[in-house]
Amino acid sequence: MIIAAADGSALGNPGPAGWAWYVSDDCWAAGGWPRATNNQGELTAVLELFRATAHLDDELLVQCDSQYVINSVTKWMAGWKRKGWRKADGSPVLNRELLEQLDEALTGRRFRFEWVRGHVGHPMNEAADLRARSVAEAYRSGSEIPAGPGWTGDCEPAVEVVSPEPAAPAASALADREAEDAALFDFDDPAADWRTLSLELTTEEHTRLVERARAAGLTPEEFLRGLI
């Protein structure tokens, strides 16, 4: 099994943006654009990972911190295709071109996704995030783009680091959590024009949010809404 992390980054969203996939320090790739969104970076990271490993028959475990990407591939894509790449309310699906390319790249592949929480010290996620953000910053500063070695003969499947985990929740609690997650990330509900989301931030996170919003010329609320 190949274990890889994929991540995207955008400074301003949209703004200078990057994507990266990471297997090891000797096996990674990154790229980006002068202007794109975070979701475009996240999708492209996964797409380029599948393209880089297209010649292999190994199962691919993709560690990803984007619920948007995971749900797009595993839950929503089939329905979008049946509806001509339109959502339940008839509006066009965003990032259709990338999603169509990703759909093609997934054909015949053995893969699964693992959601990991971003920015909490997960080693492979942090490595991918660092490289994606470095590309975005390079585009912003006009410096050389750190593209990485790509998939070379030195690439070896990563060894998954298993960390102690808390005891599994009871079945009823797990079912409740899954229902909450489904409600939170189901963007195709035409009856839900608005959703209220409460978010607790540390002082450091709030400061970083305000700084990024100010740099983009937005309020923190507008900046957060632009991430969707």
Q: In the annotation, is 108 catalytic? A: no
Amino acid at 173: A
Q: Which of 58, 89, 119, 221 is catalytic?
A: 119
Encoding tokens for residue 88?
A: 């339940």
Q: Which of 18, 48, 129, 148 is catalytic?
A: 129
Q: In the annotation, is 41 catalytic? A: no
Encoding tokens for residue 208?
A: 């970083």
- 22: enclosing H helix or E strand: strand 15-24
Angstrom CA distances, 21 to 89, 118, 142, 169, 203, stand at 33, 14, 22, 32, 30
Q: In the annotation, is 8 catalytic? A: yes
Rounded to the nearest 10°, the torsion over CA 135, 43, 190, 172 is: -110
Return the residue matching tokens 């001509």: 84
Q: In the annotation, is 7 catalytic? A: yes
- Asked if residues 47 and 105 have their Cβ atoms less than 8 Å apart, the reply is yes
Q: Which of 18, 48, 65, 188 is catalytic?
A: 65
Q: In the annotation, is 206 catalytic? A: no
Q: Which of 42, 122, 148, 188 is catalytic?
A: 42
* CA angle (22 as vertex; 26, 61 as ends), nearest 5: 120
- Asked if residues 48 and 19 have their Cβ atoms less than 8 Å apart, the reply is yes
Q: Which of 8, 12, 15, 148 is catalytic?
A: 8
Rounded to the nearest 10°, the torsion over CA 129, 131, 133, 139 is: -160
Q: Which residues are catalytic?
A: 7-8, 42, 65, 119, 129
